[in-house]
Amino acid sequence: MHINPTESAVSNLLALIVASNPRFSVMAEEALQVESVTALATPDADGNDTVTVVSAQGYGHTAAFSYRRLPLTEIVPADVPPVTVTVVDEEADILTAIAAALGLIASELVLVDGSEVLEGAGEVTIDASVSSLLYSSGPFTVALDWEPARIDSLLDNTSIGEFHPPDVDEDA
Mean pLDDT of 114-133: 81
Whether residue 4 contacts residue 101, with contact meaning beta carbons closer than 8 Å, is answered with no
Report the alpha-carbon distance of residue 50 to residue 130 in Å, rounded: 11
Checking if the pLDDT of 151 tops 90, the result is no
For residue 3, the tally of other CB atoms under 10 A from its CB is 21
3-state secondary structure of 44: coil
- Per-residue pLDDT of 55-86, as tens digits, reads 999 999 999 999 999 999 999 998 999 998 88
The pair phi, psi for residue 109, each rounded to 5°, is -115, 155
Quick check: 5 pLDDT over 60? yes
* Under 8 Å between Cβ of 103 and 6: no
Q: With contact defined as beta carbons under 8 Å apart, do 139 and 124 qualify?
A: no
